[in-house]
Amino acid sequence: MLDWPDIVLRLGVATLAGGAIGLNRDLRGKPIGLRTLGLVSLATAMIVMIADPSGRLGAITDATSRVIQGIVTGIGFLGAGVIFRAEHHARIHGLTSAACTWLTACVGVACGIGQWQIVTVALAITFVVLIVGGPTERALHRLLGGKDDGVDKAPKPASTEPPPL
């Protein structure tokens, strides 16, 4: 059985880790933020801990495995909610935020089973990708002559004309 300090540690780290990823999304004006991803990570850690209340560090029982499978599958529905297609364009928005939702659930699972090294390395890599990835992607597009996808450019003003039929 888990003791109080371990419960607080696992759930607290999960919430803080998810919240940090959410803060990154929120600061970039994305459709998901600190509270949502903090709660996703907290909930997944909690459900994994409930599946195996013994609290054995890194242990994955059959019940825990089934819970993890359900989380990994089910979280896709929440992630799908932040993906949208821009009106009158073929561009899709929100894929990184959806991926962050899924990743945050995975971080919560790792916190729930007490895999601290995996949590630490995953968060470090996550923030490198989120902070350096966009500018690197844009620089490589310019350098290699890729199609300009308009990432991080100001949106065009909405037309007052009705869309063509």
For residue 133, being part of any structural domain is answered with: no
> Please, is 45 exposed, middle or buried when counting C-beta atoms within 10 Å of its C-beta (0-12, 13-18, 19+)?
buried
Is 108 within 8 Å of 42 (Cβ atoms)?
yes
Q: Is 130 a member of any domain?
A: no
User: Tokens at residue 162, please?
Assistant: 């009705």
Number of domains making up the chain: 1
pLDDT value at position 162?
Answer: 57
Q: Tell me whether residue 96 is in a domain.
A: yes
Torsion of CA 23, 29, 30, 35, to 10 degrees: 40
- Looking at residue 159, the DSSP 8-state letter turns out to be P
Residue 104 is assigned to a structural domain of this protein: yes
Residue 20 domain boundaries: 4-120
> For the whole model, what pTM was predicted?
0.80
Token pair 């600190």 is found at 34
Q: Classify residue 157: in a domain, yes or no.
A: no
State whether residue 88 is helix, strand or coil.
coil
Tokens standing for residue 4: 């109080």
Alpha helices in 81-115 (DSSP H): 95-112
How far, in Å, CA of 23 to CA of 136, rounded?
A: 21
pLDDT value at residue 112: 93
Among residues 26, 66, 60, 21, the alpha carbon closest in space to that of 40 is found at 21
In a domain, 116, yes or no: yes
Kindly give the confidence (pLDDT) of every residue in the chain, 165 residues in length, as a single tens digit, with 9 standing for 90 and above: 889 999 999 999 999 999 999 999 999 998 889 999 999 999 999 999 998 888 777 778 898 899 999 998 888 888 888 888 777 777 788 899 999 999 999 999 999 999 999 999 999 999 999 999 999 999 999 999 876 555 444 444 555 665 555
Residue 139 within any structural domain of the chain:
no
What is the per-residue pLDDT for 164? 57
- Residue 108 pLDDT: 96
Q: Does some domain include residue 147?
A: no
